[in-house]
Structure 1
Amino acid sequence: MSSLRDKMNRLRGTGSSATVPPAEETGAVHQTVEPQPEPADTDHLETLSEEWSSMGVKLLHNEAGSFLIRRKSYSALHKHGIHCLGELPAAACGLSAFHEAPVAPEELMYLDLETTGLGVGTGNVPFMVGLAYWIGEELIVEQAVIRHPAEERAMLYYLNSKLGSYRYLVSYNGKSFDWPVMQTRFIMNGYNRKLWEPLHLDFLHPSRSIWKNTLASLRLSHVEEERLGIERIDDVPGSLAPQLYFQFLADGNPEPLRGVYQHNEIDMLSLVCLSIRFGHLLNGAMEGCYQLPMPEESEELIRTGLWLEKMGHGDRAELMFQAALAAERTASSTLNMLAARDKKAGNWQRAVLLWQKAVMQSVQPGSAGMNASVELAMYYEHKLKDYDSALSYVSEALEQALSHPLGRRDAKRRDEIEGLRKRKERLLRKTTGRKLAE
């Protein structure tokens, strides 16, 4: 951390950070305040340049020093992609499924960071902290920025007093990245007592559950484009944000940060819309007033159903499963996915039909058809004691395994082949023994 701080200080020509009493001594730790409609601004000797003012940036002072803040408000009628922000109050009810507790829009604090690096260690500093929260009929987006290390404590002082007013932290990978980074910075700056402990709503996890194999990327910018109808124009990639910040530190020109502000702002709005989408989905919006487009791919339908079932909505999950089965063609791997769910639930009748369909569709050797054949072999052997049918399916699975290009080279596949041979030998003994007995 010290090496990065020294580097930033040298670039800015700034001395060591201002001497400010730790938060514990000032009594400001975990101070609970109501969200303010406008960040307060007081008289100060320093004034911001025209470049900062043109971006809507203000200088904010508090007991710990000063930092920059940019604030924008959006009405409930503002449309971002396919959603209006005013849908948030209705969608928030559905989000209660995440923690089995009521969720009000005023309890949600959205967070997105722009940092100097990628890790969660002490050397990674968030130079821009994006926040969004709901007040009345408006969404407020705030972006706090530090111009040099001496301003970090003032920014954290402000955030520490603000965050405690909210119950939920909403993010995209924030549980693993954004919030651990913030916790580290709070502790490094003396805010190590009674830190805010929010309930997390991290939407990377449901995104991964539903779109793991149907979207080329799970980056928020890709998810928003493919599923939220949001198109970014002349967007600064988040990966360039650290470089642009260090450029600002070197020459003092804030203009390159204009694109970073815009990128972070869109991230915040997209995160709100993603929470709206998941909230509607959990509320049953496929049948309700907020219509969501039905997934087109059978795998996405089944993955959506599996996620809904996990969140306690089995009835809505079944609608997804039925829609997937009604599709003209469903991939064998997708059929196996639903069959595995039915097997676990004891729904053997549909599981068998799904496995049989997967076998019939597997015209080329591959794991999907082979796995379905193995499942059918086990079902007929152990459930129905039909050893002839079981032998037929295990023979088909062995043939597919042997004809696979990696069948004789891959160690895992060799183990599978050996297991299939043993299963076939056992079934041969059983069928032979039964025939002799007859």
Structure 2
Amino acid sequence: MSTDTAVSGTGQATVAERRGHRTAKYALILGGLTAFGPLSVDMYLPALPTMTQDLHSTDTALQLTLAAFIVGLGVGQLVVGPLSDAWGRRRPLLVGIAVFVVASVLCAVSPSAEALIAARTLQAFGAAAGVVIARAAVRDLYSGIAMARFFSMLMLVTGLAPILAPVIGGQLLAVTSWRGIFWALTGFGVLLLTVAAFALPEPLPPSRRRPARFGPVMRTYGGLLSDRLFLGYALAVGMAFAGMFAYISGSSFVLQGVYGLSPVEYSIVFGVNGFGLVAASQVNGRIVARFRQRSLLLTGLLATLAGALGMVAAAVFGLGLAGLLPPLFVLVSSIGLIMPNATSLALADHPHTAGSASALLGVVQFLVGGAASPLVGAFGEGSAVPMATIMAVTGMLALVSFGVLTRRHSTTPRPA
């Protein structure tokens, strides 16, 4: 091999290494930003009984702190998305993280449930910036197969957040009070604010920005809602997310209360399912160039429905844990195929309004997903049937949304 060839090969390797380092850096930063929502929603759930006593309040009032956060997260994304399309990603992001930090401090020192509800609403607005801008930044930086691969990589960082957050919160309660959980969220916000300020460049050039006037913003949202493809993918991922919310909110009652697992055994099951989700997302990233994204998404949706129906059968016919856990693993793992592909396909045709599209996608995920959580308890906690049935219904609705609204999909990109 000649010296020129060797030098050329070395140069190509150096470029590839730099791209790999840049991709890994973006994955860590953007993964941390998308973790804002699930960490803030789930970390303090194990502390709710203690908080009720400490704040001399009621269960209903403390549950409003969760509802306020979910509503604030949805509304916040609708506001931040268009602003990031107009001003670039960095300024709204840094302001949003700063708001999250301040609000987390207010949560930690709240003297009453009413004060905590107000602080949680403000915290949600700050978290919304991280969630919506992370997805928009991926659309700014990547397209096509590369975007799907990056969303799969992002699942490696964020896939475990909603699953492990209650476990982390429970461990923190062993060494501190519920206020310590919000101090931990404060520290997480400070860390991400520092990293984003110094390590995340502006991904949206001025030439691609759009004014954030009320009329055009409303027309943009109206256009997205009337876009069958976008709506189909958004509802598919939202319904799949609803199944995950049902799992997160109901699995503790089912696996420990009904099937008698100890907290340690329950944590092991949680961890195994989380590993399946992350593994599926990484497999998706490796094979997405060889298979159509729609085919991979359909596979994930079918696996979700099959897993949910298997759980219903196990619960109805009394097949025990041996019959329940395998389909549950299939269901949770299938999210690793659904999330990156549905998100990538939903954003693919909207490069010039990625912030608004990302915001609307996030609203559908959290509002539709959050609505599933109380349904599990509302239909009874003495059996696995309610949780499994809700997961089956959301799985069916996800498949129907995909099949009906996206069936005329064309591989030719359309103007945003």
**Which TM-score band (shorter chain)?**
under 0.3
RCO comparison, higher one (Cα < 8 Å, 6+): 2
Q: TM-score, normalised by structure 2?
A: 0.24
Larger Rg: 1
More strand by share: 1
